[in-house]
Structures are given as C-alpha cells and as structure tokens.
Amino acid sequence: MNQIEEIIKSWRALDVVKLASTDRSAVLALLELLSNPDTAVRLRTLAALAELVEGTDDGTKKFLLNHGLEPLTKLLSDDDPRVVHRTIEVLARLLKSVPLDEKRFLQLLNSAVEVMKNGDTLARLSLIDLFGRIQVPSLSEEGLSKVHSIASSDFLWVRLLGLRVLLSSGRLEGYEERLVEGLESLLLSGNALTIELGIGLLMEIMRFHSTPGAMKALSRFPSILKAVETGGGDVFLRRKAAEARKNLEETLLAYYGSRHDEALEAARALLGDGRGEDALFLLFTIGRTDLLSHLWGDARAAESEPMKVLGLERAL
C-alpha cells in the first residue's frame, strides 16, 4: 500500500490535499486510486480531489485535467451512484476555470451520453447543468456532426444533452422543433427537478437566442407555463413559471411587435397544431387583435368551429 492510499484509507483527506498541492507525484498517486476496486477508497479519493481543485492554482488544475480527465470520465459509468455524483462534482469544480479542447470536450460528452442513457435523474440533471457552465470549444465539422447526432437522438435525455451543447455554442438554428419537444416533456413531467430545468432552458433561450425559429418555438409555451403556474405543485416552481410567462410575454412583444406578418404566420402555425390559446396569447401580447379576423377566416375555410379552434369557447 502506497503512502497516499494509506492516508486516504485512514480518512486523513486534508493531509492528502496538503501533500498533493505541492507534489505532482502525489497528484498522480491520488488519480491512480480512482480505479481502486474499493468503493470507499474511490469516494474518499474523489472527496480529496474536490478539496484539492477548490483550493489550488491553475497550474495544478491543468495538470489534473491533463492526467485526470480520462479516469474521471470512466467513473461516470461507475456502478455506485454516489461515485458518479461525486465525480460530476469534481469535474464541475475542475472545469470552472480550465477550458477543454475539442478532443477532451468530446471525450467528456461521449461519457455523459452514457449517463443520459443509464444514469439516475439527479446525475442527468447535474451533467446538463455542467455542460451549461463550461465553455464549448471551437468544434470541427466532425465534432459538430457528433453534437448534431446527439441532439437528434430519439432518447429524450440524450437529445437534451445535445441541445444543451447547441444552446451554449449558439448553434441552435435548425433544432428548434427538437428543443420544443424536449422542453415540453420536461415541463409536463410532473417532476419538480425536471420542470425547473425546463423553465431554466426557456429563460436562457429568451435571453440569448432571438432568432425567428427560436421565437416561433417560444410562442408554443404560454399555455404550458400557465398550467405549471396554476397547478397544485411546488410553490417555488409556480412562481418561477409565472416569472417565465411574464418574461415570455415581453420577449414575444419585443420580437413580434414590429413583425406583424411573422406574428400572423406563427399564430397560424399554432392554430394548425391545435394551440388556439397560444395563438390568441401571441396576438393579444403584440396588441394586434385585429389579426384575429384572419385566424377566424382560416378556421372557417377549414370548415372548423372558430370558437372551438381559437379556444374562445372555453374562455366564454
């Protein structure tokens, strides 16, 4: 048994941190323990690494990244969920100030995909949060193709991970519909953690992605946010949903207020999807209720009942 392992097994993590902060060979010995068959050793090693990363200089962090990323990403597939959660914590602390190049970013992304497929909800949410915080490097065509493949996955959580990366890199265009599907699933899940994630992603789109496709996608969410806001769930989430709906109203007004033709096109698309309430919300928001006559005419031309299609029957 080497000195580092002996210290780890005796619960003297602070002694390891102190030693590793000045001795690179101690860091390497610590990283070797990540593959120890004893779960307790792996957990204590991760705890020591978390403390080391938090209090060390950028040089040591880069050394940890160069030598520790591979063993850390392997632990994302550990059989013990505690190890997975602690590994994500270490990665979050490490990557907070140390950027990844494309090769390492894709290495981490590939490992995260497996967690999206097989991990628990907390691990999935933590990794999506992690990829929202780290800087996406400049990606080659091959790298972008990999991200696009993930964002097009039929598996919801894998798709959300890919979309999270596209959001962070500002490359959402063309994937708005996939994002809508994913966010709807989150907001309608009934799970407080996933609903909070969905609201957070919506707010981010409002702030940073004012493209025509993104705005058209956002116009589909007023009724869903209203359902969360008026539901019987968590009070905190209901308040967040109310705030998000108010921000959404302001965002739609800022974009469509001077783009009335686009607004009518978006309203027609909503109507075609059976989202009469959202179509009305959009037109009322931009103060163009006179455009209702166009939707009314569309409903009559389709031999539908206008009151029902536009959602007015329920309102009355």
* Per-residue pLDDT tens over the stretch 84-102: 999 999 999 999 888 999 9
Task: Give the whole-angstrom CA distance, residue 161 versus residue 127.
Answer: 8
pLDDT exceeds 80 at position 241: yes
The whole-number pLDDT of residue 178 equals: 85
The whole-number pLDDT of residue 312 equals: 45
The whole-number pLDDT of residue 100 equals: 94
Q: How confident is the model at residue 208 (pLDDT cuts 50, 70, 90)?
A: confident
Which CATH architecture describes the domain 1-99? Alpha Horseshoe (1.25)
Q: How confident is the model at residue 253 (pLDDT cuts 50, 70, 90)?
A: very high
Q: What average pLDDT does range 180-203 have in this prediction? A: 91
pLDDT exceeds 80 at position 232: no
pLDDT in tens, 48-60: 888 888 877 788 8
Q: How confident is the model at residue 203 (pLDDT cuts 50, 70, 90)?
A: very high
Q: What average pLDDT does range 23-37 have in this prediction? A: 86
Which amino acid is present at 46? L
Task: Give the whole-angstrom CA distance, residue 63 versus residue 67.
Answer: 6
Domain ranges in the chain are 1-99
Q: What average pLDDT does range 196-206 have in this prediction? A: 92
Q: Which is more confidently placed, 50 or 303?
A: 50
Q: Which is more confidently placed, 171 or 294?
A: 171
